[in-house]
Each structure stands twice: as C-alpha cells, then as structure tokens.
Amino acid sequence: MPDPLNVTSPQHHPGEQGPAEDHAHRGEDLAALLGRLLEEARPAGKTQKDLATEAGIPYATLNAWVNRTRGTSRIEPDKLRALVGVFRRWGLEVTPKEMFSAIGKAVPGRAGDEREARLLRIYRELPEERQRDLVKDAEAMLRISRVS
C-alpha cells in the first residue's frame, strides 16, 4: 500500500463535490472550446440551451461539460458530431478534429466502423433472447438485400 503522505495527487472522498478530473489537452479542453464557440454565437442570440436542444443533448449534460463538473472521456462520437453540426449551422467554424481533440481523442475512423461499434454496444446490452431476435432480423435483412 502506498504511503498516504507521499501521494502525487490530492485524495478525494467519494461524496466530495468538485470539478470532474479531465485534464486539459493541447489547445482547448471541451469546456473552453464550447465556451468560446457559445461566446461567438451570443451576438446571434444563441444560448447554451439552444445548443443542447438542437444537438439533442440534455441541457444538464451540456451544462456539466461547460462547467467541468462531468467528465468528457466517454462522450459518444455522435454527440460531438452533433455539436459540430449545430455550430456550423450557426455559421461558426469548428471541425470534428477540434471537438475530438478537446476531449483528448482522435476522430474515429470511417463512419461504417463507428456504426458497427455502436451496433455491437447495443447488441451487448440486450438480453440474450433479444440478441437472438436481432441476429434473425439481421439475417432476414441480408437475404432481402441480396435479392434486391
């Protein structure tokens, strides 16, 4: 067991309230990037609430990212892409690479790979009986697509 007097980072108690630990990456972290883009959108009357609504992200979740009270390491790629899409519709310049870099990740590979990973996540969360149903449905769709 490590010596508690020689720890390299402060110890937190499980119930302690404080900022989520997401270390800044090169450039801006997600909170800084979102804050900057929202500030640029302010003259057009756009708000954090508008961003959450248009991106399909719960306001509380987006607010927690902006205030650094929720970690960002597990944000789904679709959510980051939705944010990029909204900011672009608002006329702001931001790339998926900037958004993914803000959480310390590279932009995922081809969209097909991403869809496959998403389908696998969904499959694994289903009860065994539903997994069998999903496989049967997929096989039926494959047969139909081969005929078309």
- Based on the domain organization, do 75 and 132 belong to the same domain? no
Residue range 43-79, pLDDT digits in tens: 999 999 999 999 999 999 999 999 999 988 889 888 9
CATH of residue 35's domain is: 1.10.260
Gap between the Cα atoms of 106 and 12, Å rounded: 30
Confidence of residue 18 (pLDDT cuts 50, 70, 90): very low
- Please check whether residue 9 lies inside any domain of the structure: no
- Based on the domain organization, do 29 and 52 belong to the same domain? yes
pLDDT at 86 over 80: yes
- Please check whether residue 10 lies inside any domain of the structure: no
Gap between the Cα atoms of 79 and 90, Å rounded: 17
- Based on the domain organization, do 26 and 78 belong to the same domain? yes
- Based on the domain organization, do 33 and 83 belong to the same domain? yes
- Based on the domain organization, do 58 and 92 belong to the same domain? yes
- Based on the domain organization, do 95 and 131 belong to the same domain? no
What is the number of structural domains in the chain?
A: 2
Q: Can you give the residue range of the structural domain that contains 23? A: 16-101
pLDDT at 4 over 60: no
Residue 89's CB is within 10 A of a number of other CB atoms, namely: 9
pLDDT at 15 over 90: no
- Please check whether residue 25 lies inside any domain of the structure: yes
- Based on the domain organization, do 25 and 84 belong to the same domain? yes
